[in-house]
Amino acid sequence: MSASSLPKTLGELRRNPDFSERRLAGRSVRDEIRENLTAKLQSGETLFPGIVGFDDTVIPHVVNALLAKHNFILLGLRGQAKSRILRQLTAFLDPVLPYIAGVELHDNPYAPIGKPGRDAVAAMGDDTPIAYLTPEQRYVEKLATPDVTIADMIGDIDPIKAARHGIELGDESTMHFGLLPRANRGIFAINELPDLMSKIQVGLFNVMQEGDVQIKGYPVRLPLDVLLVFSANPEDYTARGKIITPLKDRIGSEIRTHYPLDVGQAIEITRREAWADRGGSTQTFIPDFIRETVEQIAFAAREEAKIDQRSGVSQRLSISCLENAVSNAERRALAAGEALAVPRVGDVYAAMPSVTGRFELEYEGELKGAEHVARELIRAAVGRVFERRFPQSMTENVVNWFEMGGSLRIGVDASAATVVEQLDGIQGLSALAATLLPNGREENEIRAAAGEFILDGLYAQRRIDRSEEAGYARKPRAAREKRRAAPGGFGVPDIDTTYN
């Protein structure tokens, strides 16, 4: 239905079957969401497009809560798509919702709850003007902070209104409504609920239990029609604040979110979210082994004892790391006049500024420093990906080349042609790199990325050494002797290799 064909007055609204009094008068926002959700379930439509990895865990619980007409809370560490899920609830609202024009509570034309709405219908009857809300306008979101007041959330008495109109302070017309009443007939979301002061949480009780609000103790009852949804970090119960018990008791469903359960899910999330296709004169290509390496950094960080696991390691780490790695490859391609920008392992190391700020360190990690921890995470990630692709027997020729005294230094800004020329001088490396190339892709930029990945994988397994001065080289004898007795570190399995 186009905007021009929508009913403009209450009389026209009554005569329209889509907005009839029989259909809308007693239909709450929860009934509306349940009705639309049921239709989507029956049609097999995707309920939360763009949300990856929650199909069998989080999404069913959210659907159950909506079908039960519950207020609910999403509990999870940072970067687990909590806010995105809440914002997508608008997909279950009607395309348009009629209300009495000019009324801030968005009153139902057939059952206004506020005095201005009741007065308008009483004065104008069927000529009462009607306006419409879109689903996006019916979603109100508030970030809970310690400075939020009851007036912000619920409302307050406005003495200026009373003085201007010559009415008593207790009159309903003097009320200045807060965010919650203004969300009437919609969805009200509070992010980081534990940060909300306890006395403000108390103010939500009547809304959730009785469906109404009272302002400043005056006998004004507003039976609000609103779905309340929340998000919180479970660690916030003991960190910055807590959700008080009576409020928790009134939340119908508590739903736990989580990080991607496997690398495939994580790759898909980053593929959707990261800005990798830059356009312009330089095209971008990201090899699968680089995408997987970037994701493994986050997985390694979520297992690392030097990192505070209570604060979590957000999926944003992988997204920003990949974007920075692509930027470094793009910068190199532009400087070298190359038409294709392909990130290498060196570009992932160059993206460390997007990694070090994404986690909190434990005491041991603080002693090492964020940059040192980030380097070891990248090394561990490369080692994990490399191990899955190359059994030890496949790389003996390359290791032997270094054992015989070979060394190679690859500059992070070296052109692809220069790197490929260097890599071709290492026995067996070109054949191994060819196994990483996508079908039909043999550009120097991709070959350079594949070759450098193999060398860095051997370094991650501690089978060759790498330094800023010498580049990739044979490990010093003292280090090789120490390696014989030492287990693998930072999540990289121990490699049983005998050095001569």
Of the candidates 351, 416, 406, which has an alpha carbon nearest to the alpha carbon of residue 381? 351
Of the candidates 183, 79, 195, 204, which has an alpha carbon nearest to the alpha carbon of residue 144? 195
Confirm whether 321 is domain-assigned.
yes
**Both 457 and 339 in a single domain?**
yes
Domain boundary among 227, 256, 285: 256
The H or E element containing residue 226 is strand 226-232
**Both 276 and 169 in a single domain?**
no
Confirm whether 118 is domain-assigned.
no
**Both 293 and 244 in a single domain?**
no
Q: Structural domain of residue 402, as residue ranges?
A: 263-485
Confirm whether 125 is domain-assigned.
no
Residues of the chain with pLDDT under 50: 238-239, 478, 480, 484, 487-500
CB 352 within 8 A of CB 369: no
pLDDT for position 202: 83
84: amino acid identity, one letter: R
Confirm whether 189 is domain-assigned.
yes
Q: How far apart are CA 155 and CA 179, in angstroms?
A: 8
125: amino acid identity, one letter: G
**Both 363 and 411 in a single domain?**
yes
CB 92 within 8 A of CB 125: no
**Both 291 and 371 in a single domain?**
yes
pLDDT for position 209: 72
Q: How far apart are CA 141 and CA 374, in angstroms?
A: 35
**Both 172 and 304 in a single domain?**
no
pLDDT for position 110: 95
Confirm whether 117 is domain-assigned.
no
Confirm whether 169 is domain-assigned.
yes
Domain boundary among 201, 227, 256: 256
For 346-368, what is each residue's pLDDT tens digit? 999 999 999 999 999 999 999 99
Q: Which residues contact 129 (CB under 8 A, 6 or more apart)?
A: 8, 9, 100, 101, 102
**Both 269 and 189 in a single domain?**
no
For the chain, the domain total comes to 2
24: amino acid identity, one letter: L
CB 125 within 8 A of CB 10: yes
Give the chain's mean pLDDT: 88
Confirm whether 6 is domain-assigned.
no
pLDDT for position 495: 35
**Both 309 and 228 in a single domain?**
no
List the CATH number of the domain containing 181.
3.40.50.300
- Can you tell me which residue has the tokens 């997909």? 91
441-461 burial: b if 16+ Cβ within 10 Å, else e: eebbbbbbbbbbbbbbbbbbb
Confirm whether 371 is domain-assigned.
yes
**Both 194 and 280 in a single domain?**
no
Kindly state the DSSP code that residue 475 receives in the 8-state scheme. P
**Both 278 and 411 in a single domain?**
yes
Domain boundary among 207, 234, 256: 256
Backbone angles phi, psi at 233, to 5 degrees: -90, 125
